[in-house]
Structure 1
């Protein structure tokens, strides 16, 4: 009797699964006289072989996909390197500008007067703002440009003789030279003296007076000196220059305290007090005027009497001058005045 193929035999389906050609279970022929046990074992062997073939095929497909993916990534990298041009290394930014295309007319002009503190400080402050807003950061460019902003003769002469020696040096060095030449040596002392001697007039509002003092403070504090005037110190000096009535209100309401001091809040409150004082003074003036008018003697009764007297003379034919029947025209009577 011919024996059926043993599933464990090397020539069975399991051995064929290790080959390159997959086994088709439908092509396997089983003997007709196989026992049920052998038939079940053969079917299990076929299923096992099919599973191994499926796993092997999936692993091979995954390996192929990984290989294709790596090749694709490599091709993309090569393509990117080939398509992107390598840019030339740009030189370091020096902040220089094209002076020939620069609009000098936009810059602040200094026309003097020479050694006038307020005029020079306003101009140099405007120059700094101009350079910042136009992004002029290179020191040499600033030195070249500032010379085109100067129209005052003395300062222009200094620029012509000194500017070349400051090229290649920090801008602040040349600016200090301008300060030393254009201002008096004690210019800050002069500004502080103006602040201390400032007095608010009767026709001047508090906010205008305070703004003028703050302008002097800003000029004094240019370049942040060691003895810069603080807002609280400035407010104390402003208080010394106002009227006695406003001075009293500022201290009575406690708005001039060093702790948590805010100059804008101080000015707002002081302006309110000053406006109230002005309105009260105007009301008092109107009251005094009306009282003076009511006390002045009235001429109504005298005028009425004189009118009645002249009417009587006219009705009786008498002269207004001599009070007699002289017969003369009005203004031509030569008689004595009665």
Structure 2
């Protein structure tokens, strides 16, 4: 059972991510029916530890406690910050003896440097996912999820996703009720739907050819219409086969995939800034029906239109009377 937790303070660590670990594991919640972990903040060289925001946190305890802790937690720090070999050794030893090892945000790079992510699936903040995969090709990097558990290693995505990752460990070790107690005290959902894909603004690849630029502009202006390859080819004064081949060569994708991405981006804009119902948005963006739009949201963004609007909408609480989004079970990350 999870009883002892060591949070490793590292130079230039991010205060928020450090605070997430302290908040989840460092507070005595026994008066609310929760548990009190034996929580220690440790470091390789005791003393003032500078944070990335310029102030320092004084840590008096060395790494000795971490050698036997049930959980080793590593907060985020700027990518490229030199890793102390003693810290890497603690992480390796913890992984080998079966203890939990948790990283938050870019803390995954510390785990990667220690070698404990080799051959494993992991995640990090979406801004650094490509870099993590490039530097450590033996890691299967998933940039779309809030956290990943692979064996006894848990990697959290950007910033607040560290809360999700930490609560996952509490839920796995101590049960749903204990995780709910922690979440209620923190005033956060005990388990969020979806992944970090919904937070990423992925631009649609633009067409580099003048001959197709006019067609793609026209496509964006007529998203609510049925835009078949035959119709688009006629617009471009090409045969369907030539148009499809040229479109892929210029954009790197098919006309249909490009069009669906444009429709998804437009739907996101309408969910964020309008009071239109889901059915109205689906019709205006060319998805036709809310159920079809929901399918594309779940597939690409790992969330539903209703959940997306709840998170990002400027007109909170204004939802369609008929929402085909009630069942979110398929969106679990």
TM over 0.5: no
Larger CA Rg, structure 1 vs 2: 1
Question: TM-score if structure 2 supplies the norm length?
Answer: 0.20
Q: Which has the higher helix share?
A: 1
User: Larger relative CO (CA 8 A, sep 6+): 1 or 2?
Assistant: 2
Question: TM-score if structure 1 supplies the norm length?
Answer: 0.19
Q: Which has the higher strand share?
A: 2
